Amino acid sequence: MEQELYTDICVIGGGPGGATISMRLSELANHVILLEKDAFPRPHVGICLSNETDALLDYLGVGNIIKQEAFLQRKSTLLKWGSDRTEIVEQTGRHVDRGRFDQILIKKAMDSGVQVIQPARTQSIIHKKNQEWIIKAYFKGKTILIYAKFLVDASGRSASLQGKRIRNAPSLFALHAVWNLRSKPQFDGFMEAGKNAWLWTALLNESQCMISLYTDPSYISHNGHRNLQNFYCSNLENFSLVKLLDLDGDFGKVYGCDASSRYSLHPVGDDFIRVGDANFAIDPMASQGVHLALNTAIQAAIVVNTLIHYPEHANTARIFYRDRQQERINQFRERTIFEYSKAAINLPYPFWEKRSKDAMSGTRTQIVNLTSLTVTQKLRVCPLAKIISTPVMKDRWIELAPALHHPELSRPVAFLADKNIDLLFHYFKDGQTIIDILDRWKSLVSEDTGTQIIQWLWENHVLISVAEGRS
C-alpha cells in the first residue's frame, strides 16, 4: 500500500542540521516534511559542544531546555600533543547525549509545525524535469511517496543526494567505545597524539567515558588485525593518558566510522540544498561539527526561503551559500593542518606528516599591527580595503548589500554594531584621529561602540596609520 504526500520542502535527516533547517523554514511559513530513518533517542557521535553553541541554541529557542538537561559540564582537558609535556587546557561547554540532544531539536521542529515522519528511511530520490522531487520512503511497513518542490539533504555523512564530494584532507577513521570507570577522573577530557593516531577521551558522566581513536584507515587493513576491537585495544596501550583512567576493564562494543573531512562540490542548486555533514563534514579534531550544522542550517533556511519566495534574489542567495561554504572549507582546513603540524614537530611519522604537509602554504599570512592605537594617531583606510556589493542575509531572504572586503578578514563584513559598513566608511577622511572619527559618527553610534569599532578595524588592518606604507 502506498501513501502519497505533497509538500513545499522535504528534508532528509533529523540530526542537528535537518531539525534546524526544517524548524526555521516552518517558522517562515513553509510546509515541511522531515524524514528520519531512526527512532529517537539513538546514539550518535559528536558529543562535545563548546559554549559558543549556546547562542545558536538560544536563537533556536531550545537553549533553556538544553541547559536544564543533566549534560556533563566541561571544565578542563589534559593535553599531551606530541611532546612528553602535558598541559591542562581550561574548556567550557558540554558533553551531550546526542540521542537526547537531537530529540530536543526534533521536538522543537515538530512544535514549529514540521511534519516529522520517523523512523522512515529514504529509499530513492527522483528528480523530475518539471522541478519536482519524488522521495520514496518506508514507514511502518508502508511505502510513502513524497512529492516536494524543494529537497534538503541533511542526512549526514551518508549524503542521500547524489553528487560529487571532495576529500578535504587525508582519510581518517574513528574507533570508539564507551568504558566504565571505577572512579571519576580529575579531567573531563584527555587528548593525546600518538605515533599513528590520536586519542580523545570524553567523560560522559561520573562513571562512564567514551574513548575514541582516530587513525588512518589504511593502518587497520594492513596491520593484520582481524577486527576493529583488536586494533582498538592494542593501540590504546600506546597512549600514556589512558593509564590515568581508572577503567574497570569492561567496555561496550567498539564502533568504527569514517571521520574524513569532505565537502560537496554543489552545495546548492535551483531546487535543492545540502546542510550539515551532507554538505561539509569537518575533521572531528575541531569538535565543531554540531555547531557548524546548526549554523549552516540557519543560513540555509534563509537561502531556501529566498529561492522559493524571492526568485529575483535567487542567484544572490546561491552565491551567498557557496561563498560561506568556501570560507568554512578554507578556515577549517587551515585550523586542522595547524593542529596536526603542532604534533608533527615531535612526531616525524607519516600519519602526522601527511596531515600537516602544507602547513606553511595553508597558513594565512597575518599582517599584524604591532603598534597600539593612540588617540593622537592620524589614521587612513588601508588601500586593500574595498566596499563591494556582496550577498548578505536579511531577516527572511538574501540580497546584495555593500560589504567590506580586506585580505585580513575571513569573510566580507556588511554591518558593524548593526550599522551599514558603507555608512560608517562614508565619514572617513585620511588623517583623522580616533576623536575626529567618533565626532563624525556621533549621530550613528555611542562613543563606546564607536571606539570598539575603530579598535576592531585597526586590529584587522583596515584602518592604518597615515605614516604606514608611505616610506
Q: Per rule CB under 6 A, is residue 18 in the interface with ligand FAD? A: yes
Q: Contact, 404 vs 413, CB < 8 A?
A: yes
- When binding is defined by CB under 6 A, the residue of 73, 158, 227, 363 that contacts ligand FAD is 158
Q: Per rule CB under 6 A, is residue 259 in the interface with ligand FAD? A: yes
- When binding is defined by CB under 6 A, the residue of 10, 22, 25, 46 that contacts ligand FAD is 46
Q: Per rule CB under 6 A, is residue 274 in the interface with ligand FAD? A: no
Q: Per rule CB under 6 A, is residue 45 in the interface with ligand FAD? A: yes
Strand partners, 49: 94
β pairing state of 165-167 and 173-181: unpaired
User: Shortest distance, CB of residue 267 to ligand FAD, whole angstroms?
Assistant: 13
C-alpha–C-alpha distance, residues 15 and 19, integer Å: 6
Q: Per rule CB under 6 A, is residue 155 in the interface with ligand FAD? A: yes
Strand partners, 97: none
- When binding is defined by CB under 6 A, the residue of 11, 23, 28, 47 that contacts ligand FAD is 47
C-alpha–C-alpha distance, residues 389 and 401, integer Å: 5
The pairs formed by 134-138 with CB atoms below 8 angstroms and a separation of 24 or more are: 135/10, 135/12, 135/35, 137/35
User: Shortest distance, CB of residue 259 to ligand FAD, whole angstroms?
Assistant: 4
Q: Per rule CB under 6 A, is residue 267 in the interface with ligand FAD? A: no
Q: Per rule CB under 6 A, is residue 305 in the interface with ligand FAD? A: no
Interactions with ligand FAD, residue window 165-224 (CB under 6 A):
174, 212
Q: In the complex with ligand FAD, which residue's Cβ is closer, 25 or 421?
A: 25
Distances (CA, A) of 174 to 234, 241, 251, 339, 342: 15, 18, 17, 17, 21
Give the DSSP H/E element, type plus range, for residue 18.
helix 16-27
Q: Per rule CB under 6 A, is residue 54 in the interface with ligand FAD? A: no
Binding segment for ligand FAD among 82-90, 223-231, 271-279, 358-366 (CB under 6 A)?
Answer: 271-279
Q: Where are the beta strands (DSSP E) in 140-242?
A: 142-153, 165-167, 173-181, 189-193, 197-205, 208-215
- When binding is defined by CB under 6 A, the residue of 293, 301, 403, 457 that contacts ligand FAD is 293
Q: In the complex with ligand FAD, which residue's Cβ is closer, 123 or 234?
A: 123
CA angle (210 as vertex; 206, 211 as ends), nearest 5: 130
User: Shortest distance, CB of residue 14 to ligand FAD, whole angstroms?
Assistant: 5
- When binding is defined by CB under 6 A, the residue of 5, 8, 38, 389 that contacts ligand FAD is 38
- When binding is defined by CB under 6 A, the residue of 242, 290, 381, 393 that contacts ligand FAD is 290
User: Shortest distance, CB of residue 405 to ligand FAD, whole angstroms?
Assistant: 29
C-alpha–C-alpha distance, residues 179 and 333, integer Å: 32
Buried b / exposed e over 370-409, threshold 16 CB at 10 Å, is eeebeeebebbbbeebebeebbbbeeebbbbbbbbebebe
C-alpha–C-alpha distance, residues 180 and 209, integer Å: 7
User: Shortest distance, CB of residue 288 to ligand FAD, whole angstroms?
Assistant: 5
Q: Per rule CB under 6 A, is residue 37 in the interface with ligand FAD? A: yes
- When binding is defined by CB under 6 A, the residue of 16, 194, 267, 412 that contacts ligand FAD is 16
DSSP-derived letter for residue 208 is E
- When binding is defined by CB under 6 A, the residue of 284, 391, 412, 450 that contacts ligand FAD is 284
Binding segment for ligand FAD among 148-156, 303-311, 336-344, 356-364 (CB under 6 A)?
Answer: 148-156
C-alpha–C-alpha distance, residues 328 and 322, integer Å: 10
**Cβ-Cβ contacts under 8 Å for 342 (sequence gap 6 or more):** 81, 82
DSSP 134-147: EEEEEETTEEEEEE
Q: Per rule CB under 6 A, is residue 14 in the interface with ligand FAD? A: yes
**Cβ-Cβ contacts under 8 Å for 108 (sequence gap 6 or more):** 19, 23, 60, 61, 62
Q: Per rule CB under 6 A, is residue 463 in the interface with ligand FAD? A: no
Interactions with ligand FAD, residue window 239-258 (CB under 6 A):
257
- Residues near ligand FAD (CB under 6 A), total: 38
Binding segment for ligand FAD among 31-39, 242-250, 340-348, 459-467 (CB under 6 A)?
Answer: 31-39
Q: In the complex with ligand FAD, which residue's Cβ is closer, 13 or 82?
A: 13
Distances (CA, A) of 407 to 377, 382, 385, 389, 404: 23, 11, 8, 16, 10
Q: Which residues bind ligand FAD (CB under 6 A)?
A: 12-18, 35-38, 44-49, 121-122, 154-156, 158, 160, 174, 212, 257, 259, 276-278, 284, 287-291, 293
